[in-house]
């Protein structure tokens, strides 16, 4: 069964450094998402992406965050200058289309900011 | 804004017994989807079951079923014949169906423990 792949599984970085989290959505999917889960808390929506542009973003997704789909297969989340509070699990998800309503999640990337 | 509430932070059940996890939500929309996702210790989010709001029939998937009460805005998950592999965090999630607004709104989760 096709799946969403995220790399790396665990990323450790120093505060102030830039990180890029990578995702390979399911190949025929058109809509892409990033969610965040701080340890022990609920999963929160960050951003949705369609047709090479952001469809919606939450208040969490400030100017430090950016997303892009550089080559038609990867979908990346960049955090420009990481803060301690960015430490969390980051999930990528994808969906085929509006009528196909199941979001498939990757296994997540655990980001630890020291 | 839509909200999802899971009032049971933790639940436990004996293996082979039945357990029900509660979820309520608040929305002014009439057309939407509801989901239960399972998050085992590996932390991957796995879809358990989904329900379309326009369908009156409750969804079932093998040992998993829901009790969807649209007027009460309630969406509980029943797990029958609980197995050790069911131990996980369970998140209730909501999504409206408007074009371009596909994000999921999650509840805070219920940690389910299976007692052998």
Here the tokens at position A78 are 């960049």
What does the pLDDT read at residue A102? 81
> CB distance A98–B102 less than 8 Å?
yes
What does the pLDDT read at residue B98? 63
Structural domain count of chain A: 1
What is the band of A99 on the pLDDT scale with cuts at 50, 70, 90? Answer: low
Kindly state the DSSP code that residue A12 receives in the 8-state scheme.
E
Indicate whether A104 belongs to any domain: no
Average pLDDT of chain B, as a whole number: 92
CB B94 within 8 A of CB B24: no
Which chain B residues have a beta carbon less than 8 Å from that of A43?
45, 91, 93, 104, 106
Structural domain count of chain B: 1
Residues whose CB is less than 8 angstroms from the CB of residue A14 and which lie 6 or more positions away in sequence, other chains included: A82, A113, A114
How many angstroms separate the CA atoms of A92 and A105, rounded? Answer: 6
Q: According to the 3-state scheme, what is the secondary structure of chain B?
A: CCEEECCCCEEEEECCCCEEECCEEECCCCCEEEEEEEECCCCCCEEEEEEECCCCCCCEECCEEEEEECCCCEEEEEECCCCHHHCEEEEEEEEECCCCCCCCEECCCEEEEEEC
Here the tokens at position A75 are 């979908």
What does the pLDDT read at residue A98? 62
Indicate whether A30 belongs to any domain: yes
- In the A/B pair of chains, how many CB contacts fall below 8 A? 62
What does the pLDDT read at residue B107? 94
What does the pLDDT read at residue B100? 57
Residue B43 distance to chain A (closest CA, Å): 7
Residue B75, class by beta-carbon neighbours within 10 Å (0-12 exposed, 13-18 middle, 19+ buried)? buried
Here the tokens at position B84 are 């050790």
Identify the weakest region by mean pLDDT among A100-104, B6-10, B29-33. A100-104
CB A83 within 8 A of CB A113: yes
Kindly state the DSSP code that residue A96 receives in the 8-state scheme.
S
Closest among B63, B84, B89, B74 to B13, alpha carbons compared: B84
Q: How far is CA A24 from CA A8, A63, A96, B44, in A?
A: 12, 23, 14, 15
pLDDT in tens, B37-70: 999 988 888 999 999 998 889 999 999 999 999 9
The CATH number given to whatever domain includes residue A73 is: 2.60.40.10
The minimal CB distance from B44 to the residues A31, A41, A108 is found for: A108
Is pLDDT above 70 for B7?
A: yes
pLDDT in tens, A55-69: 899 999 999 999 999
What average pLDDT score do residues A25-30 get? 88
The CATH number given to whatever domain includes residue B16 is: 2.60.40.10
Residue A26 distance to chain B (closest CA, Å): 15
Q: Tell me the percentage of chain B whose pLDDT exceeds 70.
A: 97
How many angstroms separate the CA atoms of A93 and A106, rounded? Answer: 6
Identify the weakest region by mean pLDDT among A16-20, A92-96, B76-80. A92-96
Q: Which residue range is the domain that position A51 belongs to? A: 5-99
Residue of B nearest to A34 (CA): B103
Indicate whether A63 belongs to any domain: yes
Indicate whether A107 belongs to any domain: no
Q: Which residue range is the domain that position B28 belongs to? A: 3-115
Which chain A residues have a beta carbon less than 8 Å from that of B52?
101
Indicate whether A35 belongs to any domain: yes
């Amino acid at each position: 069964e096709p799946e969403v792949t995220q790399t790396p599984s665990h990323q450790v970085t120093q505060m102030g450094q830039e990180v890029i989290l990578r995702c390979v959505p399911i190949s025929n999917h058109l809509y892409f998402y990033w969610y965040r889960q701080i340890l022990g808390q609920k999963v929160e929506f960050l951003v949705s992406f369609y047709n090479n542009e952001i469809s919606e973003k939450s208040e969490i997704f400030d100017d430090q965050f950016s997303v892009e789909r550089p080559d038609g297969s990867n979908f990346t989340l960049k955090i420009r200058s990481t803060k301690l509070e960015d430490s969390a699990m980051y999930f990528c998800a994808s969906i085929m289309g509006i009528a196909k309503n199941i979001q498939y999640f990757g296994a997540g990337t655990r980001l630890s900011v020291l | 804004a839509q909200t999802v509430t899971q009032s049971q932070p933790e639940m436990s059940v004996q293996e082979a017994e039945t357990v029900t996890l509660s979820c309520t939500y608040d929305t002014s929309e009439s057309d939407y989807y509801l989901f239960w996702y399972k998050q085992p210790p590996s932390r991957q989010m796995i879809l358990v079951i989904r329900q379309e709001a326009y369908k009156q029939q409750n969804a079932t998937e093998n040992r998993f079923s829901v009790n969807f009460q649209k007027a009460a805005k309630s969406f509980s998950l029943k797990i029958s014949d609980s197995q050790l592999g069911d131990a996980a965090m369970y998140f209730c999630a909501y999504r409206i169906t408007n074009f371009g607004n596909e994000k999921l709104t999650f509840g805070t989760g219920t940690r389910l423990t299976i007692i052998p």
